Amino acid sequence: MWNTVLFDLDGTLTDSGEGITKCVQYALNKEFGIEIRDLHQLDCFVGPPLKEQFMRFASLSDAEGDRAVAAYRERYSAVGIYENRLYGGIQDLLETLAKEHFTLAVSSSKPTVFCREVLRFFGIEHYFTSVVGSGMDGSRVEKDEVLSETLRQLGMEDMRDEVVLVGDRNYDVIGAKKAGIASIGVTYGYGSRQELEAAWPDCIVDSTTELRNVLLGQAHPENILPPAGYGFHPVRPAAPYEGNALFKIWRVFYPMLLYFAVSMAASLVVSAVLILIGIFMKGSAFFNYEDIYNSIMGSVLLMTGVADAVCAVLFYFFYRSDERRRTVYYPEKRVLRKNQFSAFSVFGIICLTIGASVLVNTLISSLNIQDPAFESSQKSMMENTGFLQQFIVIGIVAPACEELFFRGLIYRRLRDYLGVTWAIVISGAVFGIFHGNITQGIFAFLLGMLFALIYEHFGTIWASLTAHMANNLYALIMDDLLGNSIPDSAAYIMLGLCTALMFFFAWYFFWNEKRVNRF
């Protein structure tokens, strides 16, 4: 039986959204010039640890997160803390539970000093035996840490089966599980029923009246229970995210079948259009195999661009769907946190990628690995297309499609099932095989692993997309514009410079910078 109830504060006892979101809006604008007009975009700040949410929302560094929190507290301590209201029925609920001799406490990720001021402001502080929040110095911000301290203060560390946490977000439920206590999710706060169900609390209620019924009902089992479906909503298990091994393999690789199908359809459509144009322009004179063949072969890059553009849109929706499911069902395990991704990061990624590209190409050349058939077809395709078309297709459209495909879908899904290391290796191998020739295959395998590592470090697909575009545009400029015009001495100097920059930024990103994702 639960005789000790720990309450979250924001979104459970009080509707503090107005004050919190306005203070977040103030901090982002003051410190970083980020203007958020719609305060509902900032509802995600109600509940989670503040600094962590700032870093995730605005891609801030650790130090920038501290600045944001300081600016937030500047307004919150003076104004925002009072832009708040009690949820309907909370006063009566607390009075009833106190009369029934429940031990009540507050366990919040908000600093303790602010928690006490909110409770004092609403005149409900006397109901609580203990009030525990985070420290103003950034300590004890995780929910399970707050709960453990609350249990220690209440002397309930060895009686955890008698304690229940009431909260409105999945963070509360997850923290309760880590602390070894039960949890009740409330939907009248800022967490949706779907979010709460996915975290699997002991039950979910939709109002303070239902919360009262659950707590009093379990405390007095001798009383007649209310009709089924009233007041108490048992939680169904979270929806299955994956099935057996065969389903997992299918889920990882079916996008490749879709890509081939779209590529085939694009080839047929473009070929048909070219034939119709040829007939319109030349009439029956167009009907010779050489003209048709040359017309189609001269449009291979166009076909590729059309297929990649269509697939990029499809893969984007698959990718967004995956990210939403990970957020709901596996918020701790599978969701990538965003690291700092600034203009300097973009510059570093470009240098790192070009350096790796030059080094790998030099290695392949020294091993005399060649594919004459591929090189001949590649040369023919490039000669039959202009630079602008190459720039758009090879430099922009293809990287967008392939990053959503190989990193956004294949790598992330492999990561879900096999972990980071195997996902990097296997997705890199698939990326290499996909290119269909030995020369590009080896290059794509090594660079594909680098792209996945960059994606993992920065936690955003934009980072690996930047790397992929840098690689393709560098190759395009070197092959199409400069060709063999670079003297050997300049080539050696460039090789040394690119290699030095590559090692520097590899050290800077993967060893020196803060690692927000584990790999």
Catalytic residues: 8
Write the CB contacts of 442 (distance below 8 Å, at least 6 apart in sequence): 360, 364, 369, 432
- Do 138 and 167 meet the contact criterion of CB atoms below 8 Å apart? no
Q: 85: which strand partners?
A: 15
In degrees rounded to 5, what are phi and psi of residue 278? -65, -45
Across the strands, what pairs with 104? Answer: 5
Rounded Cα gap, residues 495 and 478, in angstroms = 13
Longest dimension (CA), the chain: 97
> What is the three-class DSSP state of 500?
helix
How many angstroms separate the CA atoms of 516 and 372, rounded?
44
Helix (H) or strand (E) holding 224: none
What tokens does 318 get?
């698959």
The dihedrals phi and psi of 139, each to the nearest 5 degrees, come to -85, 160
Alpha-carbon gap, residue 485 to 466, rounded angstroms = 27
d(CA 90, CA 211): 10
DSSP secondary structure, 335-356, as one string: PPPP----HHHHHHHHHHHHHH
- Cβ atoms within 10 A of the Cβ of 485, count? 7
Write the single-letter amino acid at 74.
E
What is the number of helices (H) and of strands (E) in the chain? 21, 8
The Cα–Cα gap between 125 and 394 comes to 64
SS3 letters across 58-110: HCCCHHHHHHHHHHHHHHHCCCHHHCCEECCCHHHHHHHHHHCCCEEEEEEEE
